[in-house]
Amino acid sequence: MSDLPKRITIDEEGPREGFQSEKKVIPVADKVRLIEALAETGLKHIACVSYVNPKRVPTMADAEEVAAAIHRKPGIHYSALYLNQQGLERALRGPLDVQGSVRITASETFSRKNIGKSVADSLVEQRMSLQTFKDRGMPVEWGVVLGAFGCN
């Protein structure tokens, strides 16, 4: 058992993933209350909102309002999901932490259902995001393949 890590890091995706999966809109105050309660547990990373098209994901139409209402604790990385250049620009205007990242889709169906674009068009968006990171001197720290094991 000596080969087990001495420490692990948990990135909490529950608020972002959970709020956007709900059928009805959760009030901003309730979203903020959950995020702030999670911050009290000692987590170091909390994904709070998604900057996505509100027509596709109505439960995230209040992303800016939620992000602005969070009373942030020092030492916690509060993040947001963005899938395209427009979402990235919204994230950069907001108060949450933005890391350079690239998200590509492995599934045409996933891309059309979740992003509203083909995989090819989504790749063009990612190139635009990479240019934005470069222009701002932001390193690209990680990448994600969405829908790698299926499509929701």
Domain segments of the chain: what residues?
11-98, 100-152
For 101-116, write each residue's pLDDT tens digit: 998 888 898 888 888 8
Q: What is the pLDDT, as a whole number, of residue 44? A: 94
Tokens of 84: 């395209």
The distance in angstroms from the start CA to the end CA of the chain is 37
Q: What is the pLDDT, as a whole number, of residue 1? A: 61
For 113-150, write each residue's pLDDT tens digit: 888 899 999 999 999 999 999 999 999 988 888 888 87
Who contacts 31 (Cβ-Cβ below 8 Å, separation ≥6)? 15, 19, 48, 62, 66
Cross-strand pairs, 11: 45
